[in-house]
Structure 1
Amino acid sequence: MLLNRASSGERWRVRPDGPGKVTGGLAYLTDMTTDHMLYGLVLRSEHPHAHILSINTDKAKKLPGVHAILTYLDIPGLNAYGIAHPDQPVLCEDRARYVGDALATVAADTLAAAQQALELIEVDYEVLEVVDDPECALLPSSPQLHPGGNELHRTVFSRGDVDQGFRDCAYIVEETYYTPRQMHTYMETEGGLFVPGEDGRLTVYSPTQHGFMDRMQLSRILKKPQEEIRIVSSPIGGSFGGKDELNVQPYGALLAMQTGRPIKIHNSRWESVRAGLKRHPMKITMKTGVDAAGKLMAHQVSLISDTGPYSTLGAEVLNFATEHVIGPYQYVHLDVKGVSVFTNNGMSGEFRGFGGNQAIFALEGQMDRLAEMAGMEPWFFRKLNMRQSDNLGPFDQPIAMTEGAEQVWEAIAKCPLWLEKEHLTRMSSSGDEPWIKTGIGAAFTMHGAGLGVGIPDPAGGRLELAADGKIEAVFGYEEFGQGLLASLEQMLIEQFGFGAKDIRMIIGDTDVVPDSGSTTASRATAMMWKSLQKLKAPFSGQLLQRAAAVLNRPVEQLQLGEGGIKGTRENSLLLSYKELADAAGEPIRCETSFSFPTSSTERVGAHYMYTYSAVVVKAEVNTLSGRARVLQQYHVVAAGPVINPQGYLGQIEGGSSMALGFTLLEDSVMEKGHYIARNLDTYLVPTIEDQRGLVEVEAIEQLPEGDDYGPRGIGEVGSVTLAPAIAAAIRQACGKWATKLPVEPSFLQEAPFFLGKG
């Protein structure tokens, strides 16, 4: 299936949440208000690294309109949070480790009063040396940020003897790649409404990608049973990983329980910048060699990841990057080492691609350089070294759907845009504007889905015929713009035969949904599909059995359809779902729970399911201004059946837009632990103007025989290959290899030359 904005067909439909978003009628969680609510704010550290000698709140407490000022002394339970490693203090006790560290939190009648209270809090600091370079942080002489030192996590994977491998190589490329600290820049910054109940329960309306994980963490902080905390987590105005971790929730929850009043907190953009997660900056050094025939012999990699002051999922991101610097290729000898390092820079954490963007930029750069050095066509070079369908995965683990790699390779090989590359070799610049040069590049990847081996990864859902005749589909996932609700609706229609008006979808409310796991790692669509497959026979069977009893007809003569039960022969409506619910007298319900499929290997984080993808990019470089512009993209994605064509295309377009920023524009630069850009007036992200080029997506829907895992998620694959493809296009256009992202205009500029006549 070829998808672009000119595509049409009967499978295109209006998103269930589309009209509300387009008209502005949809209320996001941070839009919510209620009577008698107070406003919350957080006091954060002035310094990226300092001892906290004292915090004096006396003056602030006397301010009219202030109802609570809390410090670490007021936390009833665990003063820490973090999905995997709870080492980030809710409110700092004696030390601040970055400019986003929270010292106190305030609730007041108005935002102005809350802000004035923050200004009246007196903090006495002893400023400490800033650790802002991850390599320096590993030196014994560096200040140690945690009791265990500055090393969060190390990874090692090897095979064979790389030294011998390099001795057997005819060509060797050694290069170091640098990737930026990218912001998520979601339109809805972190926030929410926190409502205490008269029964002692707490309801949290706040954006998150894993409501049950938030509930567990808040339970520890509040020293309160999980069952007394309700998390309502949808709809969300963008996340891309950035709201996977707790952000404002501890402060709103603590203030609500302290005051007995609803608390509204909503971060300003600057607050979001200083305290929010960013993509991990990485330095990736690679040495890769091939024999005279172009076969990969040895691959040696060193990764250094700046995780910032606390853990969140820094170790897991490094695991993913370690797997993906090996990628879809076969090597005789392999030596990969990685380290995730604590610094006083901003918090790094979960971000669309989860370490894959950094790894694939470096790996695909190596493949292009080696092909050029060996005098080989770059796409043929990849085919020569690609894993075959019976090969093990990057960590020598069993994997699924390896046939997708060759399908993607063949689709790119015959893509008209890729075939245009040879023509551009001869005509890379315009005669009228010789400073405008054009090139074409491509990149390939296999991208892991799910959380990987050794990490709890629950899945499941529930179907129920409600008393009002609606078919309720209940899942513990969140909708944050990725089109999850549209995909779920489409699956229910196609698999069961329901009509859109028959369905009520319930997600993101821990009081009523099962724990379906996190809405991350390209897993939600696949797990919803698998859940419905498991539920189809038992739920359909119960509905038809009840209908057969009511209608006094054999089950074999009945089928589910739009509006209710129909006859198999006459295809006419015999019994509406409301009539069936009335006749049943009790709920008809089916539930399933299982785990995301994993490999049999024991390596933590190793993936079993992958999505295969590649992209061809046509880019234009203005060597006077130093600016590069993407003119055209052709993505090929092997991810199984397309559930929702609109959503599929939207995910690839959205991911590629973020990757465009990663490659050409975005870097949240820090100086001595302080952010330089405080707002979006100085931190630039791609606009629709930057995305005006044609984006086409070829979806490969065929799954191998015996593969019953269904559609893979495609929320990340549109973002992970664009950077190396643009770098390859730049190389063809102006002869320069980019090793640092974003590509600086000064790197692409060429010396001025005479432009006049004569």
Structure 2
Amino acid sequence: MALTRTTSGERWRIRPDGPDKVTGKLAYLTDMYQEGMLIGRVLRSPHPHAGIVSIRTDKAKRIPGVHAVITHADVPGMNRFGIVNPDQPVLCEDRVRYIGDAIAAVAAETQEIAALALESIEVEYVLLPVVDDPAFAQTKQAPRLHPGGNVLHRNQYGHGEVGKGFAKCKHIVEESYSTPRQMHTYMETEGGLFIPEDGGRLTVYSPTQHGYKDRMQLARILGLPEFNIRVVSSPIGGSFGGKDELNVQPYGALLALVTGKPVKIHNSRYESVRAGLKRHPMKIKMRTGVDENGRIMAHQVHIVADTGAYATLGAEVLNFAIEHVTGPYTYESVEVEGVSVYTNNGVSGEFRGFGGNQAIFALEGQMDRLAEKLGMDPWEFRLANMRKPEDPGPLGQTIVRTDGAMRTWESLARSPIWLRRHDRRTSEPWIRRGTGAAIAMHGSGLGFGIPDPAGGMLALAEDGKIEAIFGYEEFGQGLIATLELMLIEQFGFGAEDVRIVIGDTDLVPHSGSSTASRATSMMWKSLQKLRGPFLDRMLNEASKLLSQPADNLRIGRGGIWDKSGEHLLLTYALLARNISEEIRFQTHFPFPVSPTKRVGAHYLYTYAAVAVEVEVNVLTGRVKVLKQFHAIAAGPVMNPQGFLGQIEGGSGMAVGFALTEDSLMERGAYLTRNLDTYLIPSYADLNGEIEVHAIEELPEDDDHGPRGVGEIGSVCIAPAISEAVFQATGKRVNKLPIDPELLQETPDFLAKAVDGI
């Protein structure tokens, strides 16, 4: 399927939440308001590393209109958070480890009073040496940022003997690659409304990608049972992984319970910049060798990831990067090792691609450099070393067999961009044109050994609506539209028959996180499991009411129809009013994992091949992406608009990763404070042509259905752009974002003109 914006048909219907979003009518969680609510603010450290001598809050508490000032002494439960490794203080006790660490929080009647209260809190610090270099952090001379030292996690993988492999090599490429500290730059910054309820309950309206995980962590912090906390987590104005961990929720929850009043917190952009998660900067050293026939004999990789002050999911991101630095290729020998290191450089965490973007940028850079050494076409070189469908996965694990890698390779080889790659004509002599391509396999789900529950529920509600109930969140990815389309196509319901219930821990089952390109796959699988029992029960109940055999009836738009589909016999509302027992079915199952017992190893993969055409202005060094071609092998497309939107959106984020985005830091302090100095791609940068080819076919014995595409559109763009820049200028890129000064030059005709002046 070639996806375009002009394709018509039922599957290209307007998404249910679309009109309210584009007109501004939709109330996001940070738009919420309640009469009598207080404003919450958090006092954050101005220092990247310091000891806390004292915290004095008396002046702040005496300010009229201030209802609460809290410190670590006011946390009734565990003063730590983190989904996997809870090492981050809710409110710091004796030390701050990054600019943005939380020290105190206030609740006041207005923003102005809250700001005055923060200014009145007196904190005495003793400055400590700043650890801003991951390499230095690993030395004995570096201050220890945590009791266990400065290494969060190490991991390694290998097979064969790389020493012997390199001895057989005709050509060896050794390169070091660096990637930036990218911001998520969601339009809705972190925030929420926190409401104490009768009976000691607390309702949390705050954007998150996993309401149940937030509830679990808040229960530990507040010293409450989980059932006393309700988390409403949708709709969300963007996340991309950045709202997967707790952010403002602990402070809003604590202040609401202390004051007994609703409390609203909403971060400013600067507060989001300094306190929010970023993509892990990585330095990846690779040494890769080939024999005279172009076969890869040895591949050696060392990864250093800067996880910042606290763990978040840094260990898991490193594991994912280690898995993806070998990609869809076979090697005679491999040796991969990596380390995730604590520093005082903010906090790095989960981000769309989850370490794959960094790994694939480096790996595909190696492939292009090796092809050049061999004098081979880079795409043919990849084919010569490509993993076969029956081969094991990147970590030697058993994976679901598909020919996705080959299908995407073939699709790109036939693409117009690739076929015209040798045409580099431009209109101006200072403009250079080039084409580059990259390929990747990207794991779906959390991987082996990590709890990864899935499931959902279908019910006939009292008003006759068919309720699809899932513990997922809508943060712009089109989940509601995709689920609605699946119910229409697979069950025969009309859109008006369906009610989607998501993102509310009081109402939904535990379906697992809305991360790791897993939600669409798990919704599809849940509906497959629920379809038979649910429809059978509906028809059997209708059979009793209509005094007709169930075999003579069928499900359709608006209700129960005769088998021919010519006559509506019973509306869903009438059926709901006349059944003696509720119609409700639930399913629960784990995300499929590899039987190979290696922590983090994936079982399902999505495959992508991407070609880009760029122009480089050698006077300014700026790169413009003109055209993109994406071949995506992700199984059946459930929602064409959503599919295309995910690929386009992911590629836009990746263009920023490649060309402009980096949260610059100096001695642990952000030089970036707002979006005026942090350059995300604008429409002018992203208005080039994008063609997407969806490869939907799966092997006949594959019953896993559609794979997720939330991340795959973002992982190949940077290496493809880097190769296109090389083809245009002859200059290799090993550091992102690409520095314009690297590409600047004085064309001959200008040099002659200058000489003549």
TM normalised by structure 2 equals 0.99
Task: For residues 478-497 of structure 1, give each alpha carbon's deviation from its aligned partner in whole angstroms, at most 9, with x where no partner exists.
Answer: 00000000000000001100
Distance 1:108 1:586 in 2: 50
Q: What is the identity, as a one-letter code, of the residue corresponding to 2:445?
A: G
Q: What is the identity, as a one-letter code, of the residue corresponding to 1:711?
A: P
- Residue 304 of structure 2 aligns to a residue whose secondary structure is strand
Distance 1:210 1:629 in 2: 37
- Residue 11 of structure 1 aligns to a residue whose secondary structure is helix
Distance 1:75 1:579 in 2: 52
- Residue 107 of structure 2 aligns to a residue whose secondary structure is strand
Q: Which aligned pairs between 1:75-154 and structure 2 lie closer than 5 A?
A: 75-154=75-154
Which residue matches 2:727? Answer: 732
Q: Which aligned pairs between 1:455-470 and structure 2 lie closer than 5 A?
A: 455-470=450-465
Q: What is the identity, as a one-letter code, of the residue corresponding to 1:121?
A: I
Which residue matches 1:667? Answer: 662
Which residue matches 1:572? Answer: 567
Which residue matches 1:333? Answer: 333
Count matched residues: 753
- Residue 81 of structure 2 aligns to a residue whose secondary structure is coil
Q: Which aligned pairs between 1:182-261 and structure 2 lie closer than 5 A?
A: 182-261=182-261
1:621 correspondence with 2:607:
no
Deviation (angstroms), 1:555? 1.1
1:503 correspondence with 2:498:
yes
1:489 correspondence with 2:484:
yes
Task: For residues 318-365 of structure 1, give each alpha carbon's deviation from its aligned partner in whole angstroms, at most 9, with x where no partner exists.
Answer: 000000001111001000000000000010000000000000000000
Which residue matches 2:290? Answer: 290
Q: Which aligned pairs between 1:9-48 and structure 2 lie closer than 5 A?
A: 9-48=9-48
Alpha carbons 2:402, 2:698 under 8 Å: kept: no
Distance 1:403 1:544 in 2: 40
Distance 2:401 2:531 in 1: 24
Deviation (angstroms), 1:421? 1.1
- Residue 55 of structure 1 aligns to a residue whose secondary structure is strand
- Residue 277 of structure 2 aligns to a residue whose secondary structure is coil
Distance 2:184 2:439 in 1: 24
Alpha carbons 1:137, 1:143 under 8 Å: kept: yes
Q: Which runs of 4+ in 1 moved over 4 A?
A: none
Which residue matches 2:343? Answer: 343
Deviation (angstroms), 1:158? 1.0
Alpha carbons 2:594, 2:602 under 8 Å: kept: yes
Which structure 2 residue ranges, 5 or more long, are not aligned? none
- Residue 421 of structure 1 aligns to a residue whose secondary structure is coil
Distance 1:158 1:692 in 2: 42
Deviation (angstroms), 1:587? 1.4
Alpha carbons 1:421, 1:439 under 8 Å: kept: yes
Deviation (angstroms), 1:753? 4.2
- Out of 539, 542, 549, the residue aligned to residue 544 of structure 2 is 549
> Which stretch has the larger CA shift, 709-718 or 564-573?
564-573
Which structure 1 residue ranges, 5 or more long, are not aligned? none
1:570–1:306 Cα change, 3 Å: closer
Q: Which aligned pairs between 1:249-648 and structure 2 lie closer than 5 A?
A: 249-422=249-422, 424=423, 428-430=424-426, 432-648=427-643
Distance 1:645 1:489 in 2: 13
Alpha carbons 1:42, 1:104 under 8 Å: kept: yes
Distance 1:122 1:31 in 2: 32
- Residue 251 of structure 2 aligns to a residue whose secondary structure is helix
Which residue matches 1:177? Answer: 177
Alpha carbons 2:179, 2:282 under 8 Å: kept: yes
Which residue matches 1:686? Answer: 681
Deviation (angstroms), 1:22? 1.2
- Residue 328 of structure 1 aligns to a residue whose secondary structure is coil
Alpha carbons 1:429, 1:436 under 8 Å: kept: no
Deviation (angstroms), 1:752? 5.4
- Residue 224 of structure 2 aligns to a residue whose secondary structure is coil
Task: For residues 597-616 of structure 1, give each alpha carbon's deviation from its aligned partner in whole angstroms, at most 9, with x where no partner exists.
Answer: 00011111000000000111
- Residue 536 of structure 1 aligns to a residue whose secondary structure is helix
Deviation (angstroms), 1:570? 4.5
Q: What is the identity, as a one-letter code, of the residue corresponding to 1:464?
A: A
Distance 1:753 1:62 in 2: 71
- Out of 707, 711, 716, the residue aligned to residue 712 of structure 1 is 707
Alpha carbons 1:655, 1:716 under 8 Å: kept: yes
Distance 1:321 1:402 in 2: 22
Q: What is the identity, as a one-letter code, of the residue corresponding to 2:268?
A: S
Distance 2:743 2:461 in 1: 62
Deviation (angstroms), 1:429? 4.5
Distance 1:615 1:141 in 2: 44
Alpha carbons 2:554, 2:565 under 8 Å: kept: no
Sequence identity, in percent? 66
Distance 2:537 2:293 in 1: 62
Deviation (angstroms), 1:586? 2.8
Distance 1:754 1:735 in 2: 19
Deviation (angstroms), 1:384? 0.8
- Residue 462 of structure 1 aligns to a residue whose secondary structure is strand
Which residue matches 1:50? Answer: 50
Distance 1:299 1:571 in 2: 64
Distance 1:23 1:434 in 2: 44
Q: What is the identity, as a one-letter code, of the residue corresponding to 1:747?
A: L
Task: For residues 677-726 of structure 1, give each alpha carbon's deviation from its aligned partner in whole angstroms, at most 9, with x where no partner exists.
Answer: 10001111001111110011000001111101111110100000000000
Distance 1:752 1:674 in 2: 39
Distance 1:327 1:569 in 2: 51
Deviation (angstroms), 1:572? 1.9
Task: For residues 638-670 of structure 1, give each alpha carbon's deviation from its aligned partner in whole angstroms, at most 9, with x where no partner exists.
Answer: 001111111110000000000000000000000
Alpha carbons 1:324, 1:356 under 8 Å: kept: yes
> Which stretch has the larger CA shift, 4-13 or 589-598?
4-13
Task: For residues 431-473 of structure 1, give each alpha carbon's deviation from its aligned partner in whole angstroms, at most 9, with x where no partner exists.
Answer: x511100001100000000000000000000000011000000
Distance 1:292 1:353 in 2: 34
Alpha carbons 2:277, 2:348 under 8 Å: kept: yes
Alpha carbons 1:401, 1:703 under 8 Å: kept: no
Distance 2:566 2:107 in 1: 61
Distance 2:77 2:11 in 1: 51
Task: For residues 150-179 of structure 1, give each alpha carbon's deviation from its aligned partner in whole angstroms, at most 9, with x where no partner exists.
Answer: 000001101111011001001110000000
Distance 1:547 1:383 in 2: 57
Distance 1:390 1:571 in 2: 49
Distance 2:441 2:182 in 1: 22
- Out of 725, 739, 747, the residue aligned to residue 742 of structure 2 is 747
Distance 2:341 2:491 in 1: 50
Deviation (angstroms), 1:554? 1.2
Distance 2:666 2:12 in 1: 48
Deviation (angstroms), 1:6? 3.4
Deviation (angstroms), 1:76? 0.3
Alpha carbons 1:209, 1:478 under 8 Å: kept: yes
Alpha carbons 1:461, 1:593 under 8 Å: kept: yes
